[in-house]
Amino acid sequence: MSVIDIHIHVGKREHLTEIFLNYFRNEFGEPALQAMDDLTPAKFDKFLQLEGVDKGVLLSEYSPEVTGVVPNEFTVEFARSTDRLIPFGSININSSVDTGAQAEHALKDLGCKGLKLLPSYGYYYPNDSRMYDAYEVAQNRGAIVMFHTGTSLFPKTRVRYAHPLLLDDVAVDFPELRIVMCHGGRPFWYHESEWMLRRHPNLFIDISGIPPVQLPRNFPKLERFYDRFLFGSDWPNFISIRSQADQVRELPYNAEIIEAILWSNAARLLEISI
């Protein structure tokens, strides 16, 4: 069964802050850090193939205060040599360049398919008016905007910016914009995230960072809104993508729902056909 992983990070040591590097070393050890530093697009393509991932969304990041800056240009360049990876850009809200122009550059000039934003690392509310130009551009271009929601392991995160209900304003003001709530507001805003699916038809939840076995408990209405849940690994935070996908396959849902989470919901969103 095919898999799309909508939530993958690749960054080099030079992109990452000490906060991230310390976390990563403690969690996975120096060899894993070195392996990521040495990662080439060809090696990663092979790795994803072995993990059973047919397509993956590769995320840029603009979080200089917390995790680091993985530039849009790096992500696009890394994804270029394989048709397995789909690059997403990021936005610097504090730049002198208007966020609309940044979005236009990422989506049009660089060819990103969407944007990934981390308000709790960048210290702004998702409904900050400075971001509205970027949302407008993304909506007009049919691009996807992913937001980190919920808590984070990293020091200096400010969680108040990561509440999923803050996306209500964005979804009301940009009704055609397709929005992904990464991590579904984990670990204490699952209910709010799920409620947002009912309220806004263009909202989605990416399940990255949530142990799949918890999905039925965390999202009791998943079967009703199954066409809005997306598989994501948050790699490299969980090394084995295959085992996470296998855990989804073992959930007590019918085959259509499992296939939708692992493949067809993201395929529809990203306009991928096989």
By the criterion CB under 5 A, which residues form the site for Zn ion?
234
Tell me how far, at minimum, the Cβ of 49 lies from Zn ion, in Å: 22
Bridge partner list, 69: 62
Question: The tokens of 193 are what?
Answer: 């995230």
- Angstrom CA distances, 30 to 23, 118, 219, stand at 11, 26, 36
Angle (CA) 203-205-35 rounded to 5° is 135
The residue number whose beta carbon is nearest to Zn ion equals: 234
Residue closer to Zn ion, measured from CB, 8 or 134: 8
Min dist. Cβ of residue 148 to Zn ion (A): 7
As measured in angstroms, the least distance from the Cβ of 221 to Zn ion is 24
Closest distance to Zn ion from the beta carbon of 232 (Å): 8
Cα separation of 56 and 94, whole Å? 29
| Closer of 104 and 234 to Zn ion (Cβ) | 234
If the CB atoms of residues 168 and 234 are measured against Zn ion, the closer one turns out to be: 234
Picking from 8, 144, 122, 149, the residue whose alpha carbon sits closest to that of residue 65 is 122
30-37 vs 18-28: helix crossing angle, rounded to 10: 120
Are the CB atoms for 75 and 107 separated by under 8 Å?
A: no
Q: Closer to Zn ion at the Cβ: 3 or 118?
A: 118
CA–CA distance, 136 with 118 (Å, rounded to integer): 18
Least distance CB 246 / Zn ion (angstroms): 21
Q: How far is the CB of 37 from Zn ion (least distance, A)?
A: 18
Q: Please tell me the distance from the alpha carbon of residue 176 to that of residue 133, in angstroms, as a whole number.
A: 14
Number of helices and strands (H, E) in the chain? Answer: 13, 10
Q: Is 40 left (phi over 0), alpha (psi -120 to 50) or beta?
A: beta
